[in-house]
Amino acid sequence: MSKNTISLRGIRTFCIAARYESFRDAAERMFVTASAVSHQIKNLEDELGLRLFERNARNLKLTDTGKALFDEVSPLIDELDETVARYQKSRPRSRLNISVQPFFASERFVPKLPEFTKANPDIDIKIDTSDEASEKHAGSWDASIRVFKSPPAGLISHRLFPLRLLPAGSPEFRKKLKVKKNRIESEFPLIVHEGRGNAWKKWQRVSGITLPENSSSVRLASMIAVVRAAEKGLGAALVPMELAQGWFDSGSLVPLFDTPLVTNETYYFISDEKSAEMDNVRLLREWVLKTFAIDD
């Protein structure tokens, strides 16, 4: 048989089997069966007209010819792999720097992100979730998903959904809740988000439910911490309805009342005019609007 017909696949399989002196170990690294490895080695031996392995019931050992072949071809296979890897790394990639408010990132954006990365494998994404503040878009970000009271001037904004806060607590907390004539008569410690210190007073006016006087309170700086505290039974929290749905579905949080506080804040996808024209930002924007935007 002509040397030009020798199977490169067979040579590669031979090198792996020779390195580990085991068809089983080679199979595990190649994600095939041991019998498939044995079959490829047998075909290679037939093509070469040489015996490469000594086989017995307990172990596998290279013949002198097999060892000589391995010493010569193994460096060539390694060099081939390195060459292919260099070309793979040289493929052009684009980058995206995006800021997402922490609770949105943890509850909605990151769990859904594999859909975008699978469809756009050449885009590398850096996500900043370090800033809880609203009304903010820094020039160092290509885009952001953040809360604003109105579309920010001088930027390209796309509305996603309004921020609606609903009273929630643990199931045990809900069982102890007592309400009579729209007045809460049981203990009702409040978990307060520092950025929305008056939210409970606003909810009281909107709902018509009177909160107990002199309720104790815990103030926390992040919405993630607020929701965690409510889950642990520390008190009642006003949580973003759309973002906390997973907690409601799992039963770790339950709504305490049906009336939400519809704030004057809205989640937007934001970019400046220059960034908005970038292909990767356009692709992300289209996916974000399709995935997260809600029509009222």
Query: Structural domain of residue 37, as residue ranges?
Result: 3-89
- In the chain, what percentage of residues exceed pLDDT 70? 94
Q: Tell me what pLDDT residue 198 has.
A: 94
Q: Please check whether residue 228 lies inside any domain of the structure.
A: no
Residues 36-53, buried b or exposed e (16+ Cβ, 10 A)?
ebbebbeebbebbeeebb
**CATH no. for residue 39?**
1.10.10.10
Highest mean pLDDT among 51-55, 58-62, 177-181: 177-181
pLDDT at 104 over 70: yes
Does residue 212 surpass a pLDDT of 80?
yes
Q: What is the pLDDT of residues 116-170, one digit of tens each?
A: 999 998 899 999 887 777 778 877 899 999 999 999 999 999 999 999 999 999 9
2 falls in which pLDDT band (50, 70, 90)? Answer: very low
In a domain, 55, yes or no: yes
What's the average model confidence in pLDDT over 230-258?
95
**187 falls within a domain:** no
pLDDT averaged over every residue in the chain: 89
What share of the chain in percent tops pLDDT 90? 60
pLDDT 10s digits, 15-26:
988 988 888 888
Measured CA to CA, the distance from residue 3 to residue 253 in angstroms comes to: 69
Higher per-residue confidence, 296 vs 225: 225
Domains contained in the chain, number:
1
Decide if 53 is inside a domain: yes
> Assign residue 203 a region: left if phi > 0, alpha if psi is -120 to 50, beta otherwise?
alpha
Pairing type for strands 261-271 and 156-169 reads antiparallel
User: Does the pLDDT value for residue 183 go beyond 90?
Assistant: yes
